[in-house]
Chains A and B, each alone.
Chain A
């Protein structure tokens, strides 16, 4: 089992220090398998970026890791306790083994030096044995690999379009051939056409180079499409973990259902669209019960008082096994799936039978409606 896992983080908790500390990540466990794309979905402020920074050991005060363990399993090497690394060991680990692509390429690139210089910096720091000519050649190869004309190597970041900058970020992340790349909203600032190009590029490179990806975004519909497995975060916790291909049709957690409904399908029949009422909670508070309870349309007696733990969802025994790799570990943190409280299983919409307004189907048009919107 463990040989196909490349990164395992267990019971990670992160706090931002303050008068009332913000507990941004609470007891989160995730596993990344070799060669897969693990999607982490959630709204702004749910702790997904903080988790990413924690995994790459990039938290800066006032953020502190308050608990958990992170183990990295290099291909054909001994497991590495990531949290025990420090100084030179940590420096060698980051970028070499786990690289990161940030959301804002303009802020992540140095505006006052050329791309050539920025690539050279990477190699100077991490591959000091390479001579100048090799560094240049390698930098050009990397640009070419992400679809940028190597002649642009003398350009400055402001001379590139947003999409090109994001490509450069990806090229830099790939520079040292890491086994894991964490992508934190890499396409959020781009428009759809460019976003599509970047995603295609990532997929192609992954096929070629075989790295694993943790892909973080609030765009659940995008994540369903590109990831193998999915973790949905709400209020600093993972509330559902599921195979991406199935969860789009049969979400188990009411929040996942709500999030899916929040992305109307472009081509489906017109219907009343609903978001999720209310607002995400303040992460400085403690939640004795389910943190989603105040916004949940399915809440019942136990929800405000008992904190749900991750467990297998009800009603998916038929849908899941025989599972493709990654399929069997569907987990949800919701009392609706607890036979102790709900012997009859969860209500329609969450019970593993596709709900009418979540299932996405091709529709015929024309007859539907024409003219005025109501």
Chain B
């Protein structure tokens, strides 16, 4: 199974995953240049692996939650590639990639809950609660979320995976080695692969904005006589 995965919920990341093996990968530390770097990254990753887009079995897009503009760059890229190549398109919640990394990195205790949190800017974090799988299994189970809110509002006494822990060390109990981690397309692709193998359904590519636009309906004009 050959999957192209994209996640732009934090950094811009692209990966080519063959079965469970990551055969190509791109990551940019810059969280504000997704529209610039993403297409060259896709072209580069495919060219380096000698793979044509039409050979892909599916494209996997991280659907967030994440800052709007970057998230959209990834989603419109994934949707357009899927259309142009006539390749299947699936979504995976971006925080799932970090949860997968935590389990793969033995940073969680089997059968116990942990939190995943990323930077939502404006003093808030995107977060979700997961249960680590039993010994030997790879996929954690989402038990709550995703949500957006202040770090101080997360359920306490659970270890936190992801950049949110590094940003708000007073409020969150970070797991060493995972306090600056962002969702990565390589892990996202492996999550999708594991789920597809297990015959589980993936998401569509609807974005998880979690916040409304800031637009406000203007009130009526004050009359001079009022």
Q: Do A and B come from one complex?
A: no
